[in-house]
Amino acid sequence: MKIVVGGQHKRRNLIVLILIILVVLIGWIFWTNMHFTSTHLSIINDKIPKDFYGYKIAVVSDLHNHDWNGKLTEQLQKEAPDIIVITGDFVDSSHTDFGVAKKFIYEARDIAPIYYVTGNHEAWLDNYDDLHKLLLDAGVHIMDDKCELIKKGNSNINIIGIQDPDFVERDTMGGIQGAIVETKMEPLLDKKMYNIVLCHRPELFDNYVALGADLVLAGHAHGGQIRIPFIGGLIAPNQGFFPKYTEGVYHKEKTDMVVSRGLGNSIIPVRINNTPELLIVTLGK
């Protein structure tokens, strides 16, 4: 009888332990999805003019209409960036809320100039023209296949925006989207200057490298949605399982690409081991 009782106690203790682990895990997942972190990265390149040393770029990516109830703009104020760049999927095509979008833009524009490029979700909108007008009326620099000079002191850098290729072709086979992006980007690059490219798609890294872009700011991958320790992201759009480009800095030849984990969710509504992030990129030598 004692052996049986002891076995029952062990089973009960095991069940209690499993329940505690499940409660902690669920609580941790909930907490990480309800908060975001600020990630700070530095980019060093000899082409960066001295006047731009310490220049701070806040990257807001893949917001997907998520309303952070003022926390995001509050953090942006603390970071005090020189510019804010929105690298696509600002809204979500399946639950678009222009009210949330307008609220954020009108708060953020008082912090720093905003430069915006589209993502695939903007390409999927039936009423993208309405969003375009909303942003234009708010004074946002809409970088649909265009470039602008940013001046500081006696120096300039060239900022380029590439409209998401889904506006032209949603078929990703045969490298067609990469060819579209290269065709649009090449005439906008100025090889004599430091070029920053805003484009939603990290999977097109080799195309950016081929044209010699200096710095690319991207999103889209949502950090791989579920991050596995020592392995990385599990799945990302247009990259599939175990994607190559999900977060942080990637370098090849003369090109740096910084990929944001993003600040919202879309088709998969929950992140695991993958806290949303506001990315702060600082330029240096």
d(CA 85, CA 257): 14
Task: State the pLDDT at residue 118.
Answer: 98
* Model confidence pLDDT, tens digit, residues 86-145: 999 999 999 899 999 999 999 999 999 999 999 999 999 999 999 999 999 999 999 999
pTM exceeding 0.85: yes
* Count of CB atoms situated within 10 Å of the CB of 42: 11
Task: State the pLDDT at residue 90.
Answer: 98
What is the identity of the amino acid at 278? L
Q: Whole-number mean pLDDT of the chain?
A: 93
The angle subtended at Cα 80 by Cα 42 and Cα 188, nearest 5°, is 60
Task: State the pLDDT at residue 30.
Answer: 77
Mean predicted confidence (pLDDT) in 149-176: 92
What is the CATH number assigned to the segment(s) 38-284? 3.60.21.10
| Residue 21 pLDDT class (50, 70, 90 cuts) | confident
* Model confidence pLDDT, tens digit, residues 76-88: 999 999 999 999 9
Mean predicted confidence (pLDDT) in 220-248: 96
User: Is the pLDDT reported for residue 29 higher than 90?
Assistant: no
* Count of CB atoms situated within 10 Å of the CB of 174: 8
CA torsion through residues 205, 211, 216, 219, sign: negative
Task: State the pLDDT at residue 5.
Answer: 54
| Residue 232 pLDDT class (50, 70, 90 cuts) | very high
CA atoms within a 13 Å half-sphere pointing along the CA-CB vector of 272: 11
Task: State the pLDDT at residue 1.
Answer: 43
> Among residues of the chain, what percentage have pLDDT more than 70?
97
| Residue 6 pLDDT class (50, 70, 90 cuts) | low
Contact (Cβ atoms closer than 8 angstroms) between residue 225 and residue 274: yes
